[in-house]
């Protein structure tokens, strides 16, 4: 993710896919800089599924990927940098 991405811009982007109840950008405790990933919590699992249909997302001009996880009946989307491997 972009160093300029914060919880608000993350929530704003992913709100296009459904109701976002929480968004968090993980930061380094020492520097306060973003660690390059975050979490989105949707109200409904169907919103997570619609989001995952898109292979990558452009958040703050940076291409990111998304993975899902369900814990304690909360629908969470993990937003990570979209990595292209070169061989």
- According to DSSP, residue 85 is labeled -
> Is residue 79 within 8 Å of 59, Cβ to Cβ?
yes
Domain for residue 2, yes or no?
A: no
Domain for residue 37, yes or no?
A: yes
Rounded CA-CA distance 30/61 in Å is 26
Q: What is the pTM of this model?
A: 0.76
Task: Give the per-residue pLDDT at 69.
Answer: 67
Domain for residue 45, yes or no?
A: yes
Task: Give the per-residue pLDDT at 12.
Answer: 94
Task: Give the per-residue pLDDT at 80.
Answer: 55
Domain for residue 86, yes or no?
A: no
β partners of residue 69: 76
Average pLDDT per 10 consecutive residues for the chain, totaling 87 residues: 88 92 89 86 84 86 78 51 46
Task: Give the per-residue pLDDT at 8.
Answer: 94
Task: Give the per-residue pLDDT at 9.
Answer: 92
């Amino acid at each position: 993710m972009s160093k300029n991405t914060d919880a608000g811009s993350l929530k704003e982007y992913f709100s296009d896919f459904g109701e976002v109840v929480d968004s968090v950008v993980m930061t380094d405790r020492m520097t306060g800089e973003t660690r390059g990933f975050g979490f989105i919590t949707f109200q409904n699992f169907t919103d997570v599924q619609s989001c995952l249909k898109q292979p990558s997302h452009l958040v703050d001009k940076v291409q990111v990927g998304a993975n899902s996880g369900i814990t304690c009946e909360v629908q969470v989307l993990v937003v990570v940098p979209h990595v292209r491997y070169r061989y």
